[in-house]
Structure 1
Amino acid sequence: MKEIITKLNFVDRVKAFLFGKVPTNSRMPATTSPLAENAFIASEMTVDKIHSILRSAENGDCSQLFDLYRDIIAADSHIQGEFQKRKIEVLMELVSAQPASKENPADVKNANIVQEMLDSIPDKIRVFSHLLDSCLYPVSLVEKVFKPSHKNGLKFEIKKLVPVPHRLLDFRNGKLSIFDTDETGRVLTTSTEVETNRYIVHRGHILSNPDNWGGPMRALLFWWLFSVMDIGWWSTFLERYGTPFLVGKYDRNDDKSRFVLQRAFAAVQRLGGLVITKETQVEVQNALSSQNGDAFEKFLAICQREKSKLILGQTLSADAQPTGLNSGNSELHNDVRHSIKYFDCQMLATTLRDCLVVPFMRFNDIEGAVPKIVVGSEDEDDLQGLSTVLQSLYASGIRLTDESIVILGQRLGLTLERNSTQMPAMFSAKNPTENKPKDGIDAVWQIAGNTVAKIEQEYGNSLSVIENILEQSKSPEEFEENIAKFCASWPPEKVTYLIQDALTSNIINGATPRK
């Protein structure tokens, strides 16, 4: 630490003494300059050049590989569109911090502090978009820069998050490092190893290959090259064989007519027409037909589908394809797409927690459990299924615990709390008067109690029999069966009203045991 401080100027030495390892200044002031970007190289690509770039990357020099990635995404409309679809689905989701234990006030306080920090990130969409580049790139880095905080209880807060261009990543020493740059942002030969305190390191894929092998984007290189070459081949074919051409006919031994036709055809471009005799036969042939370009179109479609399968896991969202009546393919493709979205959200949430929230709490000496970071919520169809399950549980008399409510809130992407006023349970053995509302609603309960007395007086013993059947029945099915036996000779509408009134009486007075 002393050796590092002696090499710094006075201001940096003061910062190092006061702040320690907290990064309070950016190391990349000029790396975002457009003039620092390397030249476009995709237009010169061949199969041999791509293999040469891959060999260099495997040896640790990924500069040309990342330049090629940049050019492909910038120039290929299909890859760019599919990549944007995948990232936008995650970027439109909310990022929330939830306490590790809702019952612990310290955990709730930590979650509120972290949530405020996440909401205050400058240019958050751009920063998260750069992190999501690692869905195709092997890795993405963002520099963290802090500043002293004037907020109560905090020492430091986020000043800015700076995306690190992929062209600065260096793997020559076998470790993830960042090239040093001059004042203009141009890359130098030296590099600095990545520090976890300073950088957010995100890998949005599950490949176990080394980062310098290129990540998932490597699988797109040759499909991109084939699609570009196919378009060139198709254009050449149409240029050569797609335009109409002239066919002249002459007698077999009439060389004079043949020479006249040749001179006339040679003068077509200059004159814009032919000057021939009536006896000369000239036909205009059109070589273009609907089938001549089918092979090129099919091959291009195959290349585009392979790109979509790698980026989105399916192809129907990019190109409408016949799947057959009730085949279920569209639903299957949609499930795959939502699974990839859920995976991206989980990976981003884990990275934010480990690389941003944990250092933030450590720099501010915040004790307690680290909040859980949640990105987005479940799919609408899954939530509808979950709602059906919850309704079934409620109808069966099963009540969610506080821990279950926390888990449910994580799945919904919301913070849930139990309502303090509970409705009286219909088959509860407790007297519901314990949960009666107070104040102005007491008059309603008084009217309901008087109504019960009138109902009992009108129906006499029948109502008490219904209540007895209700108390003795162990399940709704047994209750319906006993009611059907008791009221077998009654009109159906009278049975319905009697059951409703009996249940009303049970709710108002409570299901008290009878001797």
Structure 2
Amino acid sequence: MPRLSTILGPDGERIDLDELFGPEKAGPTLTGVRSPISGHPAEGLTPARLAAIHRAAAMGDATAYLELAEDIEERDPHYLTVLGTRKRAVAQLPITVEAATDDPEHVKHADLIREWLNGGALDAALFDILDALGKGFSVHELEWESTPQRVVPKDLIYRPPQWFTFDQTDLETILLNEGVTGEPLAPHKFLVHRHKAKSGITIRSGLARVASWSWMFKSFTLKDWAVFVQNYGTPIRIGKYDSTASKEDKEVLWRAVANIAGDCAAIIPKGMEIEFISLKDVAKGAEVYEKRCDWLDRQISKLVLGQTTTTDAVSGGHAVAKEHRLVQEDIERADAKLVSATLTRHLVPYIIAFNFGPQEKYPRILIGRPDEVPLPVVIEAIYKLGPLGLTVEASQLRDRLGFAEPAADAVVIGGRKAEPGSTDASQHGRGPLDRLRHLMSRHSSAPEPEVVDRLTERLAEDAAGALAGLTDEIRQVFDSATDLTDLMARLEELDLDQEQYQAAMARGVALAQLAGQAFLLDELKQ
């Protein structure tokens, strides 16, 4: 009988402890169907045999194809390099966690995922997770550990894809090679990542399916090139003997002609002669093979990286390099989003459910450079627009900065302090102009450090320019307005001409920005 526990999965079902913390389920078996000794179908590969391997894979028998995919990585330095470049581009990207909501419980969930990420288990596995780029999918077995504080994956163990097969019903459901028909994968024990280069069934969507053809044609070219160099890379040796030469003399001359290229030395009787004949334009003949290999390599670069600038020096200068870099970033971003989706959908729910029980919403793991506005711009926008009424969730800023929610008993840095003797109600009702005067008076009425003094003087000069030229009637509107929307409505009631209205609104925006700066100076003083 399975030993059930109070640990629940995301579906609310109890988890079998023997299965969760028991021995590995997909380990190697020397005498079974998961042998660590792999075949090498790339040896002596022909077009007909390669086509047969691809047909078998498309029909569900993918063992030979997956072994071939690994084979060509080992045999082709260019394919190995560009595929590794694409994997490492994602494997070294920053990883962040986004809480489901600002609810304290959801923030705790995100903090647990961050704490687990700090252990490095995912960092160590990311490169192997991206093995799916070439083969269409990758499988990792999860080794869970339980402590009094948490239940999390201790390790993500890479399993060779040829140890798995596909359900013959849909050719999509991945099964463990076990028995005759295969064994279904327990979702809390395995992380399956599918990374399709094209739409269609998984086994036909990997890059290796296309790359295998280029590799095979390139291998033929390399063999022909080697034969050409062997035959024409060194001069042709012709030995000459006269009619009086005996059989023994001819054998001596033949050994000399045969060995002189490799040994670079030989001795022959005085009456014999060896002539060296060099072919013209041998280098040009070799260029045919070199150009073909280079062309095939460029096709691999386009297939894997989407461009060739990363691996080959091409003409076009900075503009072409910049364009190709954009292509590389697009592919990197798409790869990172696919891996993020796999982790968020198939790993995070189990970690959270095992520790907090099933949830309606779960945190997200995000891999990649953020597409959002740069942090300095965000901070400046909050600093300038906050006084105008812009509100932002604190958790969003913490997620961007990589900060966790501070614990109740933690020593914290920062936070807004209330002004002694003042309340929100005392500030409410002041117009922008009145608040600006109030804050400026506080800075000008007391000695401050040198930097704050200079900022205050500059603020006073800017404010004087913004206030200059306002009529008493418009100045009263500024004093009584509570925000820019209220100011706009009050100015429209004055029925000003277009130029006066635009000038007044421009001064209103300037004063609002200055009020924000004054708030900052006020905080600096505190």
For the residues of structure 1 that align with 2:76 and 2:336, how far apart are their CA atoms?
26
The residue that corresponds to 1:92 in the other structure is 92
For the residues of structure 2 that align with 1:40 and 1:338, how far apart are their CA atoms?
35
For the residues of structure 2 that align with 1:90 and 1:419, how far apart are their CA atoms?
36
Distance verdict in 2 for CA 1:383–1:243, change over 3 Å: farther
Distance verdict in 2 for CA 1:360–1:389, change over 3 Å: closer
For the residues of structure 2 that align with 1:96 and 1:193, how far apart are their CA atoms?
32
* Structure 2: 5+ residue stretches without partners: 8-13, 261-265, 406-413, 419-430, 479-483, 485-498, 504-513, 522-526
For the residues of structure 2 that align with 1:27 and 1:470, how far apart are their CA atoms?
79
Distance verdict in 2 for CA 1:413–1:162, change over 3 Å: farther
* Partner SS, residue 291 of structure 1: helix
Question: Which residues of 2 match residues 340-379 of structure 1 at below 5 A?
Answer: 340-364=331-355, 365=357, 367=359, 369-378=361-370
The residue that corresponds to 2:64 in the other structure is 64
Distance verdict in 2 for CA 1:436–1:429, change over 3 Å: closer
Distance verdict in 2 for CA 1:116–1:16, change over 3 Å: same
Distance verdict in 2 for CA 1:57–1:445, change over 3 Å: closer
* Residue 371 of structure 1, CA deviation: 1.1
Question: Which residues of 2 match residues 435-446 of structure 1 at below 5 A?
Answer: 442-444=446-448
The residue that corresponds to 1:31 in the other structure is 28
How big is each residue's C-alpha offset from its partner over 1:21-50, in whole Å with a ceiling of 9 and x where there is no partner? 563324436328896322333222111111
The residue that corresponds to 1:138 in the other structure is 136
Q: What amino acid maps onto 2:311 in structure 1?
A: A
Distance verdict in 2 for CA 1:38–1:258, change over 3 Å: same
The residue that corresponds to 2:106 in the other structure is 107
Q: Is the 8 A contact 2:440 2:518 kept in 1?
A: no
Count residues in correspondence: 436
Distance verdict in 2 for CA 1:431–1:149, change over 3 Å: same
* Partner SS, residue 110 of structure 2: helix
* Residue 259 of structure 1, CA deviation: 11
* Residue 239 of structure 1, CA deviation: 0.5
Distance verdict in 2 for CA 1:398–1:51, change over 3 Å: farther
Q: Is the 8 A contact 1:96 1:413 kept in 2?
A: no
* Residue 207 of structure 1, CA deviation: 2.5
For the residues of structure 2 that align with 1:284 and 1:20, how far apart are their CA atoms?
80
How big is each residue's C-alpha offset from its partner over 1:453-492, in whole Å with a ceiling of 9 and x where there is no partner? xx99xxxxxx9797332786999xx99x99xxxxxxxxxx
For the residues of structure 2 that align with 1:296 and 1:127, how far apart are their CA atoms?
39
For the residues of structure 2 that align with 1:82 and 1:97, how far apart are their CA atoms?
29
* Residue 421 of structure 1, CA deviation: 7.9
Tell whether 2:313 aligns with 1:313. Answer: no
* Residue 300 of structure 1, CA deviation: 0.3
For the residues of structure 2 that align with 1:77 and 1:286, how far apart are their CA atoms?
32
* Partner SS, residue 373 of structure 1: strand
The residue that corresponds to 1:14 in the other structure is 3
The residue that corresponds to 1:222 in the other structure is 213
Q: Is the 8 A contact 2:239 2:257 kept in 1?
A: no
Q: Residue 205 of structure 1 is aligned with which of 196, 210, 214?
A: 196
* Partner SS, residue 429 of structure 1: helix
Q: Is the 8 A contact 2:348 2:364 kept in 1?
A: no
What is the root-mean-square deviation of aligned Cα atoms in Å?
Answer: 4.7
The residue that corresponds to 2:152 in the other structure is 157
Distance verdict in 2 for CA 1:409–1:297, change over 3 Å: farther
* Residue 63 of structure 1, CA deviation: 0.7
* Partner SS, residue 365 of structure 2: strand
For the residues of structure 1 that align with 2:36 and 2:276, how far apart are their CA atoms?
59
* Partner SS, residue 96 of structure 1: strand
* Residue 242 of structure 1, CA deviation: 1.5
How big is each residue's C-alpha offset from its partner over 1:320-366, in whole Å with a ceiling of 9 and x where there is no partner? 1222x55x111111001111111111111111110011122233315
Q: Is the 8 A contact 2:238 2:257 kept in 1?
A: no
Q: Is the 8 A contact 1:61 1:172 kept in 2?
A: no
Q: Is the 8 A contact 2:235 2:278 kept in 1?
A: yes
How big is each residue's C-alpha offset from its partner over 1:352-397, in whole Å with a ceiling of 9 and x where there is no partner? 1100111222333154531122113248xx866x866986897799
Q: What amino acid maps onto 1:42 in structure 2?
A: A
Q: Give the percent of matched residue pairs that are identical in Structure 1 and Structure 2.
A: 21
For the residues of structure 2 that align with 1:464 and 1:170, how far apart are their CA atoms?
77
The residue that corresponds to 1:178 in the other structure is 176
Distance verdict in 2 for CA 1:366–1:287, change over 3 Å: same
Distance verdict in 2 for CA 1:95–1:337, change over 3 Å: same
Q: Normalising by the residue count of structure 2, what TM-score does the alignment of the two structures yield? A: 0.68
Q: What amino acid maps onto 2:210 in structure 1?
A: A
Q: Is the 8 A contact 1:110 1:370 kept in 2?
A: yes
Q: What amino acid maps onto 1:317 in structure 2?
A: T
* Structure 1: 5+ residue stretches without partners: 6-12, 181-187, 457-462, 483-502, 511-515
* Residue 247 of structure 1, CA deviation: 5.9
Q: What amino acid maps onto 2:368 in structure 1?
A: G
Q: Residue 303 of structure 1 is aligned with which of 296, 301, 305?
A: 296
Distance verdict in 2 for CA 1:171–1:387, change over 3 Å: same
For the residues of structure 2 that align with 1:387 and 1:299, how far apart are their CA atoms?
50
For the residues of structure 1 that align with 2:39 and 2:315, how far apart are their CA atoms?
42
Distance verdict in 2 for CA 1:94–1:390, change over 3 Å: closer
Tell whether 2:284 aligns with 1:284. Answer: no
The residue that corresponds to 1:183 in the other structure is none
Q: Is the 8 A contact 1:53 1:64 kept in 2?
A: yes
* Partner SS, residue 97 of structure 1: strand
Q: What amino acid maps onto 1:191 in structure 2?
A: G
